[in-house]
Chains A and B, each alone.
Chain A
Amino acid sequence: MPWNKYRATILSYGVRFSGKRMDQPVRPTHRRSFRSSTPSVRLALVLMAICSLSGLVFAQDWVKTGTSLGVEKVRLAVPDFKPSTTDPQNTALLKTFNDTLWNDLDVSGVVELVSKSFYPLQAPGQPPEVNFLAWNAPPPNAAMLAFGSLGVSGGRLTLQGWLYDVKNIQSPQILGKQYGDTPSDAAARLMAHKFADEIIFRLGGGLAGIAESQIYFVSDRSGHKEIWAMDYDGSNQHQITHLNSISLSPRISPDGSRIAFSSMTKSGWEIMLYSLDLSRAVNFPHLGGTNLSPAWSGDGTKLAFSASRSGAPEICVTDASGGNLHCVTTAKGPDVSPVWNRKTNSQIAFVSGRTGLPQIYAMEQDGTNLQRMTDQGYAVSPNWAPNGQFLTFAWVRKYGPGEPGASDLYLMDIASKQWVQLTHDGGRNDFPSWSPDGRHIVFQSSRSGKEEIWTMLADGTKLQQLTFAGRNTQPNWSWK
């Protein structure tokens, strides 16, 4: 039962998932606006509320979810950093740095960036240049100010950056950082990511930022489906595998050192491992049959995947080296796309067609305590939120003749099985994968006309397209 039915009654209230089952939907309780006791828990949870205006005016099936809803976001002003030297390289490097820093902070979901049109004409490059009154009062009315300078000197690129609480004139400095590197576009980008992560860490309740995280995905732009990687913001896209076959379902290990994926080999679909440290494939036994959709356990010691050994694809588990194979499902239906609950490291969600159209199931890693999570439609591609409490998945909720159902992304609370819809009116959406901070989701979508990779905040806002060349699918976000 979708929540929009209660939209009118829960306007502007925070909503808490109840413990009841989805087939017995509970009316969200008023005045139990959700406030967790600790900041980290509060921020990790995705609160739910309604975007009241759009809900009332357009009466669409839109539900607003988000981090820190009900909490006013910090207003952060980020004037362009200034050149600290007169080197001719400075202009290009500053542009890269300023664009990257702005984007990182903008999509973080943690702060509200003050529009640059409100900024005073004089931007500071050094602490003595900060005119507090020009920033902490309207029009910018900023609470925080990030500023600094960057320049090349003696063949070395140096960044100095500060974060000031401009309302606290007596002791304004929250952060002061200096980075050095050989001058390059990549170095400027990396400095921006690092500095953004420092700011987000401090303003976002102590959760590490994601600006240095990576997204692994499948691209056919070389002519074959190969595994590719990119920075979380879509920059630095590069090809990892060159197998000239069909390679699918990349899954990065928790420590970021290896990618497990499945590839069409001479003996059929096999699980393969690629070491990013060694820049080559490393040994994993060929099991025969059809082996698909690997998933790492939270501690990186085990892999779960779909293996068709006795006729039907089942969920099987091995060591990270491929030993100790044992299968934990026995149903006749195709079982595929497992994902571990990385928090408890003991549960696996997966897709099964045992009753017809594929549905999401969850079970203990030994196969016990099996629960069906979805009750209708076509539900695939589960991904467990880092906090262990939510599943996202792709769902054609109303399926069948006369139901032109779209494949959209949904978020479900494991305990109550209540769900909300995250994407709307945007083509086919599939393969959601959570960012390490639990604030973002990367996914594939055909909304631009062909399959490309997009990110959004976990409430469905701040949509950004990351890929544009070829068809790009099955994104997988690194664990840190």
Chain B
Amino acid sequence: MKQQNRKWFLLVVALGAVMMLGACGKKKLPPPPPPPPPAPAAPTAAISASPNSIQAGQSASLTWQTSNATDVSIDGIGAVQPNGSQSVSPTDSTTYHLTAKGAGGTQEASARITVTQAPAPPPPPPSATEQELFSQNVKDVYFDYDKAEVRGDQQGSLQADVQFLTQHPNVNITIEGHCDERGSTEYNIALGDKRATAVKSALVAAGINASRIKTISYGKEKPFCSESNEACWQQNRRGHFVYQQ
């Protein structure tokens, strides 16, 4: 009998609980979600460059990692292994774009390599600059009054001239002998001739082919400077180098 009472008691409690619950919430409880199908994992992708800044002509290393991808490619390189590294040497700043495609979707990543230009400019066409280089590098040779010997302090200029002419074997020159305004017209042309010849001889002695060198004397007929003082006279006592194609 006792078990009968307990059974009823439990039933009443349960019913009461149901009633109470029903009184408290009007909504019905949602149905439990259906178990999802086993979905494929989304791909991951990462790429980095080391170093990420180079000078033109240098190379950098690209390193990338992907997962869950079946199709991995980098723009400008093409299909690549899912994980790997490659050396690249771009000429301009470039963004490397990694695309990883897999059943779980597509993931992208990018890395940028900044390229700075090399400091030395590329040489322009040679004929135009040879003359410019000539005027930049070739130095006139100056003389003492009434002298046609190349003096000691002019050896540096002479060496620069020899160096240029050695480096530019196609350049021919004319050496003009000049004199200051003092003294006779005729004697000064003869003296200027000796000066030009002295410069030529020094170049030939240093290994420059004599056939590349013409000489001419202007004496005092074409002065660089027209004042009557020593500073000006010194300017006019020279072997002047003239570029010949």
Binding site for B on A (CB under 8 A): 225, 246, 248-249, 264, 268-269, 289-290, 292-293, 306, 308, 311-313, 334-337, 351, 353, 356-358, 378, 380-381, 394, 430-431, 473-474
Pairwise interchain contact A293-B186, C-beta atoms closer than 8 A: yes
Tell me, in angstroms, the Cα distance from A267 to B144 when the chains sit together: 28
Tell me, in angstroms, the Cα distance from A264 to B174 when the chains sit together: 15
Name the distance in Å between B106's Cβ and chain A's nearest Cβ: 79
Question: Given that A311-B197, A334-B191 are known contacts, is A306 also in contact with B186, CB under 8 Å in the complex?
Answer: yes
In the assembled complex, which residues on chain B have CB atoms less than 8 Å from the CB atom of A337?
184, 186-187
In the assembled complex, which residues on chain B have CB atoms less than 8 Å from the CB atom of A336?
186-187, 189-190
Pairwise interchain contact A356-B197, C-beta atoms closer than 8 A: no
In the assembled complex, which residues on chain A have CB atoms less than 8 Å from the CB atom of B183?
358, 378, 380
Name the distance in Å between A77's Cβ and chain B's nearest Cβ: 44
In the assembled complex, which residues on chain B have CB atoms less than 8 Å from the CB atom of A474?
185
Query: Which residue of A313, A356, A378, A431 contacts B194 across the interface (Cβ within 8 Å)?
Result: A313
Pairwise interchain contact A358-B187, C-beta atoms closer than 8 A: yes
Shortest Cβ distance from A248 into B: residue: B185
Q: Cβ of B75 < 8 Å from any Cβ of A?
A: no
In the assembled complex, which residues on chain B have CB atoms less than 8 Å from the CB atom of A357?
146
Interface 1/0s, chain B 177-219, versus A by CB < 8 A?
0000001111101110110010001000000000000001100
**Which of B183, B190, B191, B221 has the largest count of A CB atoms less than 10 A from its CB?**
B190
Tell me, in angstroms, the Cα distance from A474 to B184 when the chains sit together: 10
Name the distance in Å between B223's Cβ and chain A's nearest Cβ: 13
Binding site for A on B (CB under 8 A): 146, 148, 183-187, 189-191, 193-194, 197, 201, 216-217, 221
Pairwise interchain contact A292-B201, C-beta atoms closer than 8 A: no
Name the distance in Å between A34's Cβ and chain B's nearest Cβ: 33
A and B contact pairs by CB, cutoff 8 A, 8 listed: A290-B216, A293-B186, A306-B186, A313-B190, A334-B148, A336-B186, A336-B189, A336-B190
Pairwise interchain contact B193-A308, C-beta atoms closer than 8 A: yes
Name the distance in Å between B216's Cβ and chain A's nearest Cβ: 5
Pairwise interchain contact B185-A313, C-beta atoms closer than 8 A: no
Pairwise interchain contact A351-B184, C-beta atoms closer than 8 A: yes
In the assembled complex, which residues on chain B have CB atoms less than 8 Å from the CB atom of A246?
221
Question: Given that A246-B221, A290-B216, A394-B184 are known contacts, is A335 also in contact with B190, CB under 8 Å in the complex?
Answer: yes
Tell me, in angstroms, the Cα distance from A292 to B191 when the chains sit together: 12
Given A311-B197, A312-B197, A357-B146: 7 more A-B contacts, CB < 8 Å = A249-B185, A306-B186, A306-B190, A335-B190, A337-B186, A353-B146, A394-B184
In the assembled complex, which residues on chain A have CB atoms less than 8 Å from the CB atom of B146?
353, 356-358
In the assembled complex, which residues on chain B have CB atoms less than 8 Å from the CB atom of A473?
185
Tell me, in angstroms, the Cα distance from A311 to B215 when the chains sit together: 10
Pairwise interchain contact A290-B186, C-beta atoms closer than 8 A: no
Tell me, in angstroms, the Cα distance from A268 to B176 when the chains sit together: 11
In the assembled complex, which residues on chain A have CB atoms less than 8 Å from the CB atom of B184?
337, 351, 358, 380-381, 394, 430-431
Pairwise interchain contact B186-A381, C-beta atoms closer than 8 A: yes
Tell me, in angstroms, the Cα distance from A116 to B148 when the chains sit together: 58
Pairwise interchain contact A334-B190, C-beta atoms closer than 8 A: yes
In the assembled complex, which residues on chain B have CB atoms less than 8 Å from the CB atom of A311?
194, 197, 201
Shortest Cβ distance from B181 into A: residue: A428
Question: Given that A311-B197, A311-B201, A356-B146 are known contacts, is A290 also in contact with B217, CB under 8 Å in the complex?
Answer: yes
A/B pair count, beta carbons within 8 Å: 77
Pairwise interchain contact A308-B185, C-beta atoms closer than 8 A: no
Pairwise interchain contact A334-B194, C-beta atoms closer than 8 A: yes
In the assembled complex, which residues on chain B have CB atoms less than 8 Å from the CB atom of A290?
189-190, 193, 216-217
Name the distance in Å between A353's Cβ and chain B's nearest Cβ: 7
Shortest Cβ distance from A268 into B: residue: B216
Pairwise interchain contact A249-B193, C-beta atoms closer than 8 A: no
Tell me, in angstroms, the Cα distance from A40 to B217 when the chains sit together: 45
Shortest Cβ distance from B174 into A: residue: A268
**Which of B146, B148, B186, B221 has the largest count of A CB atoms less than 10 A from its CB?**
B186
Tell me, in angstroms, the Cα distance from A319 to B194 when the chains sit together: 26
In the assembled complex, which residues on chain B have CB atoms less than 8 Å from the CB atom of A334?
148, 187, 190-191, 193-194
In the assembled complex, which residues on chain B have CB atoms less than 8 Å from the CB atom of A380?
183-184, 186-187
Shortest Cβ distance from A306 into B: residue: B190
Tell me, in angstroms, the Cα distance from A324 to B95 when the chains sit together: 83
Tell me, in angstroms, the Cα distance from A206 to B148 when the chains sit together: 50
Shortest Cβ distance from B198 into A: residue: A311
Name the distance in Å between A330's Cβ and chain B's nearest Cβ: 15
Name the distance in Å between B126's Cβ and chain A's nearest Cβ: 27
In the assembled complex, which residues on chain A have CB atoms less than 8 Å from the CB atom of B217?
269, 290
Shortest Cβ distance from A451 into B: residue: B185
Shortest Cβ distance from A225 into B: residue: B221
Pairwise interchain contact B187-A351, C-beta atoms closer than 8 A: yes
Tell me, in angstroms, the Cα distance from A269 to B216 when the chains sit together: 8
Pairwise interchain contact B190-A308, C-beta atoms closer than 8 A: yes
**Which of B187, B217, B221 has the largest count of A CB atoms less than 10 A from its CB?**
B187
Pairwise interchain contact A308-B187, C-beta atoms closer than 8 A: no
Name the distance in Å between A267's Cβ and chain B's nearest Cβ: 9
Name the distance in Å between B188's Cβ and chain A's nearest Cβ: 9
Pairwise interchain contact B221-A292, C-beta atoms closer than 8 A: no
Name the distance in Å between B183's Cβ and chain A's nearest Cβ: 6
Name the distance in Å between B40's Cβ and chain A's nearest Cβ: 90
